[in-house]
Structure 1
Amino acid sequence: MRNKSRKIYSMLFLLLFLWGVLWEAESVYAANWGSVELTAEEAVLMDADTGAVLFEKNAEEKGYPASITKVLTALVVLEHTSPDEQVSFSHDAVYNVDRGSSNAQIEAGDVLTVNDCLHALLLKSANEAANALAEHVAGSREAFAEMMNEKAKELGCTGSHFQNPSGLFSEEQYTTAKDMGLIAIAAFHNEEFMKIEKDLRYTLSGLQRLPEGNILYMEHKMMLPESRFYDSRVVAGKTGYTRDSGNTLLTLAKEGDRRLVTVVLKDKSPYHYSDTSAMLNLGFQETEKQSLEDAEGFLEKIRAELVEKGTLTEETKLHFSSKVMLTLPKGETQEGISYLLLEEEAEKKEISAAEAKASDSGMPDAKDSALPHIVFLLDGRKVGEANLYREQNIRVMLSEASPKTKAAFFAVTISGFTIMIAIAVFLFGGGALYGAKNFADERKRRKKWKDRRKKRLEEMKISEEEFRILLEKRKKEKKN
């Protein structure tokens, strides 16, 4: 009897133990995100199309960017210049650099185009080009640094501060791997930047030091077919190094319809390349893009939340501005997807709308554009993002519009009715006789044109059908 009781208690204990293990496993269940071992102290892997963070290592720790800073410099320059603008190199731009640092043999007094300077900046990492571009755009390096910080903030960077356009070491010039990832994504979406990066070599002409020209070569070895680090997926990037920052590397890669970016900080050579390759393999091989499955369900939840907050009215319909894509581990379900409303993004839109609005423009209030940015999460990790727009009926639009907008609307409406009445009178009154006369004249013109064409074909001794075949043939030849 005792043995039987012991067996029962043992079975119960075992069942309770198994139940506890299963319950704990379920409660701590997480998506199967892959991982890699890196030499770099800080690193990030991100999807350039969804904004998803696929891997990170101390990605929000402070680090020094070195010359990958020049990617942000290029973005600011591209935003405020045209490629053919002339850039004059001052003595300060050429000589206010660290001794022995990267340069393109440009001398004070040289004049190059913005396009020349950007090639020197991104291929050769020329510090004098960074300085000259900064002076050309903002008047001074200090003023340009302010523009860099504004741009970084606009891109969502929260842990960075830039003090110079070249990346030369300064305690006040710092960033994070994640911030540089956001800058890299912006570069990937900039056509002019990508166009420059396609040139693996470029010749600077008209230099005082090298009248025959200076040939610049891409320094990112993963882009060079002859290098042992070559990776056909890598389409753009920037190297960096100072004694204090170590090796830094920013890389943009494409495979099929997917675009990924990687950043490593505080790395060692040549491991900055192998670390980058390992992250790209992880991203391309172990993750995939999926479209958001329950888009309507999420929209309804978001709409209800915004209605409760007073951002939307009950009548307002809400839509995602485009198809929402997520980046997840391969084969992962979307069961655990959640979302965040980023109100700060809405406030930025509201301020921008308010600043852009003229006092007498009669446009709707700025709050019309103040919809939050949506970030989708899995296990607390960003896997996608989306913007919203509202679809309003006329009654809601008028209730939120300014008095001038309402007056304009009614004026247009009244004018519209007036025009419709005038058209009706024209068509069904005396205008009908005028229209009938024009119709008869048009028939005469067409008959005359057909007779003339028939006569011309007879002179050419070809039939109507042969003429049509000839026309089709000529159209095809023009297209080709």
Structure 2
Amino acid sequence: MRKKKLWLIRTLAAALILSAAVPVCPSLAAEDSEYTETYDDTGEDTAEDSGEETEYIPESYYWTVESNEISGWPGGPQIEAEAAVVMDADTGAFLYSKNMDRKEYPASITKIMTALVAIESGKLDSKIRFSENAVYNLEEGSSHVGIQVGEVLSMRRALYGLMLESANDVANGIAETVGGSISGFADLMNAKAAELGCVNTHFTNPHGLQNEEHYTCARDMALITQAALKHPTFQKIAGTTNYTCPKTNKVDEERYWYNHNQMIQKDAEYYYEGCFGGKTGFTSDALNTLVSYAKKDGRTLICVELHVNGKDKAYSESHAMLDYAFENFQNVTVPANESTVTRSQLIGMDNLGELSALRTETMDETLVSGPSEVTVTIPKTAEASAVERKGDGSGGLIYSYNGWQVGNTSLSYNSFSFDVPTPSTVPVNYTEIIEETEPGVKGMVQMAVRKTTAFGKTAGKAIGEFFRTLPEKFTWLKDKILWLIDWINEHDIMAAVVGLILLLILIPILGIAWARNSKAQKIRKQRKKEREERIRIEKSIDSKPVSEIEAELRAEIEKDRLERQQAVEEAREMHVEEEPVSQEEDQK
């Protein structure tokens, strides 16, 4: 009995020693995994290192990088991300491409499109009153900033919470304010994606929480980010490292929001010099996603990574791709070579002749117009002359290097139809050849002779054409007149002198005629006035009754009688005064 007890004690002691020395299976699994299973399903990576990393290379690492297949193109880094691109934001050229059109779940980088639509809605100063649906219609553990039901934030402040803290409650509030509802806002997002030329993108929500119908591709995310960077407001918000949200109607204390993107944090492990913004994302289905953009030497590059296993891997691979693109490529300008043919050139009216009378300003407009030069991105080892141009099928031009697009431009087209005016409505410019003349009276005589000669030639040609069309019965007259015209044309100076002499003879005659005409004009004017006065009196008489006319006549007769009587009396008085003087003169 005692031996059995001793054996049992020894067995228990051995078991305790073994249990302390060897970990249980779950602990082994946790150590073997690179990241724990901790995540918040919100599009934001919350996984943390769990100890030593095992050397595991996913199959996606060996997938083809399409840009490495281009002839003469610098080889890019091999990465684990399932899809990735680096795009030059100024030229639109994709410098690095791995499965650029592959559909992937975006997670929280969706919020770049959310911010873009919100900014372009023009409602930055509007107020968002958060509904119960906006606050609570989220998965458990979803990232948020503690928005309360009924809390009011301005759209501008809400965008800081969206981009820095990746707040899903804020995303819902923005969607309801701009789109009327979350689904309505998703429609706006999809419409904007189509406008930007996205090919494999469809959004169902503003935050990026998992949905099988919510997807995008690396190419499309680069286009969306390129459009967002055109707005200074987006650049400012997405590039802010920390922001203080003031008190609101529901929260009595300030809230401090920090940007989760390590590539813009100067004291962070993965800080990248020149990076001025971006967006991180994570869900268990999407894994890590990352959009970042940086500027160096006047060039702005956009880097997109989708479906990467680990945020550290996403950051390090983005560093490698950006370094590759900055170090191996350059932006150069090439002639646009767009057509400069005008309407007049196309139909042969650009030369002198009868058709030139139909030239108008619209005839000189080019049929195709565009920039004189275009900026493209090519390898530093390549020459600009290697860039080729072709139409894109929609009215623009694509510039390519060994078949890979390195730039593009749009063109505008004028209609070939135009209005043809009649020659009389087209202004014709004549150039007068001005000959030098001597000063003084001699120069004035020279000018008079020249003008008279020019007038004589013009008049002679016109008269000659007229008499050449006379009927046959006037042939004898026509011949003499034509002879005279020809003589004038051949002896222009003599004809001018004769013309001046005739003009001097005619001047006195014209003066006399002018004087007589003036006198006749005065007589005619006087007669006209008398005629008008007579007509006026007749009209006045016709408009008055007979009794009034008789009274006026009696008054006139009486007035005339009185005047005559007064004249007789004045004559008598003068005769009486003169009579005595006459008698005295007789006596003398």
TM-score over 0.5 (shorter chain): yes
Find the counterpart in structure 2 of residue 283 from structure 1.
Answer: 325
Paired letter, 1:139: G
Paired letter, 1:200: T
Alignment match of 2:257 (pick from 213, 216, 229)? 216
Specify whether residues 318 and 129 from structure 1 end up closer, same or farther in structure 2 by C-alpha distance, changes over 3 A only. Answer: same
Matches within 5 A, 1:134-283: 134-207=175-248, 210-268=251-309, 269-283=311-325
- Contact map agreement 1:343 1:373 (CA 8 A) in 2: yes
* 2:373 pairs with 1:373: no
* 2:111 pairs with 1:66: no
What is the alpha-carbon distance in structure 2 between the residues aligned to residue 123 and residue 376 of structure 1? 37
- Contact map agreement 1:34 1:286 (CA 8 A) in 2: no
Alignment match of 2:371 (pick from 294, 299, 321)? 321
- Tell me the secondary structure at the aligned position of residue 327 of structure 2: helix
Paired letter, 1:287: F
- Measured against aligned partners, the alpha-carbon deviations of 1:54-83 in whole angstroms (never above 9, x if no partner) come to 001111111000000000010000011332
What is the alpha-carbon distance in structure 2 between the residues aligned to residue 179 and residue 380 of structure 1? 21
Cα distance, 1:99 vs. partner?
A: 1.2
In the comparison of the two structures, how many residue pairs are matched? 337
- Tell me the secondary structure at the aligned position of residue 116 of structure 1: helix
- Measured against aligned partners, the alpha-carbon deviations of 1:218-265 in whole angstroms (never above 9, x if no partner) come to 111000011010112100100000000000001111112100000000
- Contact map agreement 2:178 2:185 (CA 8 A) in 1: yes
- Measured against aligned partners, the alpha-carbon deviations of 1:365-423 in whole angstroms (never above 9, x if no partner) come to xxxxxxx122212233210011113478xxx57449xxxxx9xxxxxx99x9xxxxxxx
- Contact map agreement 2:109 2:290 (CA 8 A) in 1: yes
Find the counterpart in structure 1 of residue 381 from structure 2.
Answer: 331
What is the alpha-carbon distance in structure 2 between the residues aligned to residue 295 and residue 284 of structure 1? 25
- Measured against aligned partners, the alpha-carbon deviations of 1:140-164 in whole angstroms (never above 9, x if no partner) come to 0101101000101111101111010
- Contact map agreement 1:188 1:252 (CA 8 A) in 2: no
**What stretches of structure 2 of length at least 5 have no aligned partner?**
1-68, 347-362, 428-588
Cα distance, 1:31 vs. partner?
A: 1.9
What is the alpha-carbon distance in structure 2 between the residues aligned to residue 39 and residue 391 of structure 1? 49
Find the counterpart in structure 2 of residue 382 from structure 1.
Answer: 405
Find the counterpart in structure 1 of residue 577 from structure 2.
Answer: none
Specify whether residues 55 and 243 from structure 1 end up closer, same or farther in structure 2 by C-alpha distance, changes over 3 A only. Answer: same
Specify whether residues 399 and 302 from structure 1 end up closer, same or farther in structure 2 by C-alpha distance, changes over 3 A only. Answer: closer
- Tell me the secondary structure at the aligned position of residue 119 of structure 1: helix
- Contact map agreement 1:47 1:53 (CA 8 A) in 2: yes
- Contact map agreement 1:81 1:114 (CA 8 A) in 2: no
Specify whether residues 89 and 31 from structure 1 end up closer, same or farther in structure 2 by C-alpha distance, changes over 3 A only. Answer: same
Give the alignment's TM-score, normalised by structure 2.
Answer: 0.54
- Measured against aligned partners, the alpha-carbon deviations of 1:2-55 in whole angstroms (never above 9, x if no partner) come to xxxxxxxxxxxxxxxxxxxxxxxxxx9822333111121110000000000100
- Tell me the secondary structure at the aligned position of residue 270 of structure 1: helix
Cα distance, 1:331 vs. partner?
A: 2.5
What is the alpha-carbon distance in structure 2 between the residues aligned to residue 194 and residue 323 of structure 1? 28
What is the alpha-carbon distance in structure 2 between the residues aligned to residue 57 and residue 48 of structure 1? 18
Q: Which moved more, 1:231-240 or 1:193-202?
A: 193-202
- Contact map agreement 2:123 2:155 (CA 8 A) in 1: yes
Find the counterpart in structure 2 of residue 464 from structure 1.
Answer: none
What is the alpha-carbon distance in structure 2 between the residues aligned to residue 315 and residue 204 of structure 1? 56
What is the alpha-carbon distance in structure 2 between the residues aligned to residue 84 and residue 226 of structure 1? 33
- Contact map agreement 2:150 2:250 (CA 8 A) in 1: no
Cα distance, 1:209 vs. partner?
A: 6.8
What is the alpha-carbon distance in structure 2 between the residues aligned to residue 29 and residue 160 of structure 1? 26
- Tell me the secondary structure at the aligned position of residue 121 of structure 1: helix
Specify whether residues 83 and 315 from structure 1 end up closer, same or farther in structure 2 by C-alpha distance, changes over 3 A only. Answer: closer
Paired letter, 1:379: N
Cα distance, 1:86 vs. partner?
A: 0.5
- Measured against aligned partners, the alpha-carbon deviations of 1:444-463 in whole angstroms (never above 9, x if no partner) come to xxxxxxxxxxxxxxxxxxxx
Q: Which moved more, 1:239-248 or 1:188-197?
A: 188-197
What is the alpha-carbon distance in structure 2 between the residues aligned to residue 149 and residue 105 of structure 1? 29
Find the counterpart in structure 1 of residue 507 from structure 2.
Answer: none
Matches within 5 A, 1:403-414: none
**What stretches of structure 1 of length at least 5 have no aligned partner?**
1-27, 308-312, 345-371, 401-405, 407-412, 417-480
What is the alpha-carbon distance in structure 1 between the residues aligned to residue 97 and residue 279 of structure 2? 19
- Contact map agreement 2:340 2:366 (CA 8 A) in 1: no
Paired letter, 2:376: L
Specify whether residues 336 and 87 from structure 1 end up closer, same or farther in structure 2 by C-alpha distance, changes over 3 A only. Answer: same
Paired letter, 1:51: G
Higher RCO structure (Cα 8 Å, ≥6 apart): 1
- Contact map agreement 1:322 1:386 (CA 8 A) in 2: no
- Tell me the secondary structure at the aligned position of residue 50 of structure 1: coil
* 2:90 pairs with 1:49: yes
What is the alpha-carbon distance in structure 2 between the residues aligned to residue 264 and residue 175 of structure 1? 12
What is the alpha-carbon distance in structure 2 between the residues aligned to residue 301 and residue 341 of structure 1? 16
Cα distance, 1:104 vs. partner?
A: 1.1
What is the alpha-carbon distance in structure 2 between the residues aligned to residue 206 and residue 275 of structure 1? 40
What is the alpha-carbon distance in structure 2 between the residues aligned to residue 141 and residue 129 of structure 1? 12
Cα distance, 1:319 vs. partner?
A: 3.2
What is the alpha-carbon distance in structure 2 between the residues aligned to residue 32 and residue 154 of structure 1? 30
- Tell me the secondary structure at the aligned position of residue 384 of structure 2: coil
CA RMSD of aligned residues (A): 2.8
Give the alignment's TM-score, normalised by structure 1.
Answer: 0.66
Find the counterpart in structure 1 of residue 125 from structure 2.
Answer: 84
What is the alpha-carbon distance in structure 2 between the residues aligned to residue 161 and residue 214 of structure 1? 33
Find the counterpart in structure 2 of residue 342 from structure 1.
Answer: 392
Paired letter, 1:330: K
Cα distance, 1:185 vs. partner?
A: 0.9
What is the alpha-carbon distance in structure 1 between the residues aligned to residue 73 and residue 190 of structure 2? 36
Find the counterpart in structure 2 of residue 33 from structure 1.
Answer: 74
- Contact map agreement 1:105 1:210 (CA 8 A) in 2: no
